[in-house]
Amino acid sequence: MPFVSEKVKNLPPYLFASFQRKKKELEADGVDVIDLGIGAPDLPAPSFVVDRLAEEAEHAANQRYSTYSGCAEFREAVAHFYKQQYDVDVDPDTEVLALIGSKEGIANLMQAVIDPGDTVLVPDPGYPAYRTAVHLAGGVSAPLPLDDTNGYVPLYEQIGQELMNRAKMMLLNYPGNPTAATADFDTFLEAIAKAAEHNMLLVHDAAYDMITFNGYEAPSVLQVPNAKEHAVELGSLSKSFNMTGWRIGYAVGNAEVINALATLKSNIDTSQFLPIQKAAATALRSDLSAVKEHSSVYQARMEKLYSGFHDLGIHADKPNGTIFLWAQVPDGYSSMEFADKLLHEAGVIVTPGHAFGSRGEGYFRVALTVGEERLDEVIARLKKLDIKEGSHP
């Protein structure tokens, strides 16, 4: 009798894991690999957040289980952040839930909302974990088409009415992974209107909401009037405060959905370690100057790599947010061929666009997660390769 479930057997291989295996093999052969594949910030968490963690970890009372929904201090800090950042009022008791990182929240939210066979509209190109979460919940992913010529705003006109009526949930992600696309208020206004018209839940993944450049400030979907009737938003401290390994995030919005997610999670986990929640509360109640400093670092890296790509004839749109650069593969290569070339001939890991959906083919994603000196080295290595358009047979 097999001991592995069919849904796990049918999971597609996690591309990032395969690149990490190749990385280890090359490093074992003495290759200096520069990893621009995974969006894992290299900057440290703010010292005042680390100090609060250390302080709270000393208290025996904080070494016990958290309440299932997260401690009051953290939920109230999330509500404070939404009021200060977006002028949105949320009830910390019924409309806020602590998550063990937003990736966990996405997976469990699917289990809490959809039933086997339900359809979910998933951004294409989009974060691969969305499709995986739908699959694990027994749902069916349908592509929500995004296009560079349209600024990666959903192309609703390319989705048939029957599919729109059948979908139970729609996922959005701005500033976006992998495209680094940003949204304005009208994007969310239209999305909420579509959700209301077709009686679906809108889930917005706002993991990169505070990493923005050039005066752009990311809106919240909850700023749309009556948005909480149709939407929840997921947030994370991973990228904005460089707290990836801390695994702390939140869900905010529709009280019925928040309660369903809390009910599910109470049967799976007991929330995050209390000192981490309290340190995260300190971060969210701060003046956010640390986030602005981090964003400046990412912007400088983006400008350097964008300029280097331009010199190499590689086209990319200059983004206003995230820790990524989304660039076009030179003519003559598939996304995977180009990523393999960079890995094996230059020792540089990038993520091929097809990993993010069929509409990602022809692109590759670069994570701005190494210092500027290493980016100079990346550009120098790429200049030694023959990657001009049309050079690949």
Q: Write the CATH number of the domain with boundaries 47-284.
A: 3.40.640.10
Which portions of the chain are predicted below pLDDT 70?
1, 14-15, 388-393
The pTM is what?
Answer: 0.95
In this prediction, residue 363 carries a pLDDT of: 98
Residue type, 172: L
CA atoms of 53 and 368, how far apart (whole Å): 27
In this prediction, residue 362 carries a pLDDT of: 97
Among 111, 140, 238, 253, CA closest to 195: 253
In this prediction, residue 25 carries a pLDDT of: 87
| Strand 34-35 relative to strand 348-349, pairing | parallel
Among 9, 33, 37, CA closest to 335: 37
Domain ranges of the chain: 6-45+289-383, 47-284
In this prediction, residue 392 carries a pLDDT of: 45
Domain 6-45+289-383 in this protein, CATH class: alpha beta
Whole-angstrom CA distances from 328 to 181, 191, 310, 339 are 14, 28, 11, 12
In this prediction, residue 388 carries a pLDDT of: 62
In this prediction, residue 22 carries a pLDDT of: 81
